């Protein structure tokens, strides 16, 4: 379980995230929503130990995240940033194999268990057929699945994903979110994901965490937060919530 207790983050005297109390548990998909600059990525980076809280505490399983060793923490938490590193001259299998680094010894050799984890991750993300292809020859949607497979090979209990759909078309967005939803359900992992499309978040997430100007505005199930007044407070524009004609799922449109 992740917990934030009065966690606050400042840079040069400017507050990017005000004192925040939150709790995230395994087996659920959490969507972080809000306009640009609301504090979503800042919150995710605090959880991922990419930056340290200026005040308060961030803990994992009752232990401050700063007290974990690097490999020990990586066995629990996998993080995918907005800007992905270059993967030139790597095959798909090689990139996915990088996810096993927290479990490898000093020599970094792949064991049978490592190879099984890599194969399983590629199977779950349906990329087995492209295992020997070069990553930089893949489409955006294909590359996104490869990076997700690398995180799954890491065997962590939490996946932290910062805008993983930004470079994808609508078809690949739906496929990727459906896969993430399935993985959380079948593997029991916790997923905390930054997304901009409130309708996608509403459909595929169990819980929404809404931020505005570095402040936590609301947290709850999609049906609780998907109302006209709440969405206007989050995004600063008038929105109307209605039921989808096919399945009565709440959707929002700008008025």
| Residue whose C-alpha is closest to residue 205's, from 216, 217, 190, 186 | 190
Determine which of 106-110, 151-155, 243-247 has the lowest per-residue pLDDT on average.
106-110
The pTM assigned to this predicted structure is 0.92
**For 38-63, what is each residue's pLDDT tens digit?**
999 999 999 999 999 999 999 999 99
Helix axes 170-187, 140-153, angle to 10 degrees: 10
Side-chain half-sphere exposure of 129, counting CA atoms within 13 A? 3
Q: Provide the pairing of β-strand 29-33 with 63-64.
A: unpaired
Instruction: Tell me what the mean pLDDT of segment 198-218 comes to.
Output: 92
Write the pLDDT tens digit of every residue in 82-96: 888 778 889 999 999
Give the residue among 243, 195, 237, 253 at the shortest CA–CA distance from 223: 243
Nearest to 196 by CA among 166, 168, 153, 160: 166
Domains of the chain, earliest start first:
2-254 (3.40.50.300)
């Amino acid at each position: 379980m992740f917990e934030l207790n009065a966690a606050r983050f400042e840079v040069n005297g400017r507050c990017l995230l005000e004192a925040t109390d939150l709790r995230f548990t395994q087996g659920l998909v959490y969507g972080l929503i809000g306009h640009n600059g609301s504090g979503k990525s800042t919150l995710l980076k605090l959880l991922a130990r990419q930056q340290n809280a200026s005040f308060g505490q961030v803990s994992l399983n009752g232990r401050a995240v700063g007290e974990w060793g690097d490999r020990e923490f990586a066995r629990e938490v996998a993080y995918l940033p907005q800007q992905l590193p270059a993967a030139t001259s790597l095959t798909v299998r090689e990139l996915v194999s990088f996810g096993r680094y927290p479990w490898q010894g000093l020599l970094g050799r792949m064991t049978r268990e490592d190879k099984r984890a890599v194969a399983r991750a590629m199977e779950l993300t349906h990329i087995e057929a492209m295992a020997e292809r070069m990553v930089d020859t893949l489409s955006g949607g294909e590359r996104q699945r490869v990076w997700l497979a690398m995180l799954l090979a890491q065997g962590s209990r939490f996946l932290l994903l910062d805008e993983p759909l930004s470079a994808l078309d609508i078809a690949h967005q739906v496929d990727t979110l459906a896969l993430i939803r399935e993985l959380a359900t079948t593997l029991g992992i916790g997923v905390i994901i930054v997304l901009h499309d409130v309708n996608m978040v509403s459909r595929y997430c169990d819980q929404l965490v809404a931020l505005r100007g570095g402040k936590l505005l609301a947290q709850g199930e999609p049906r609780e937060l998907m109302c006209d007044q709440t969405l206007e407070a989050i995004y600063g524009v008038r929105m109307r919530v209605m039921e989808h004609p096919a399945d009565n799922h709440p959707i929002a449109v700008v008025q």
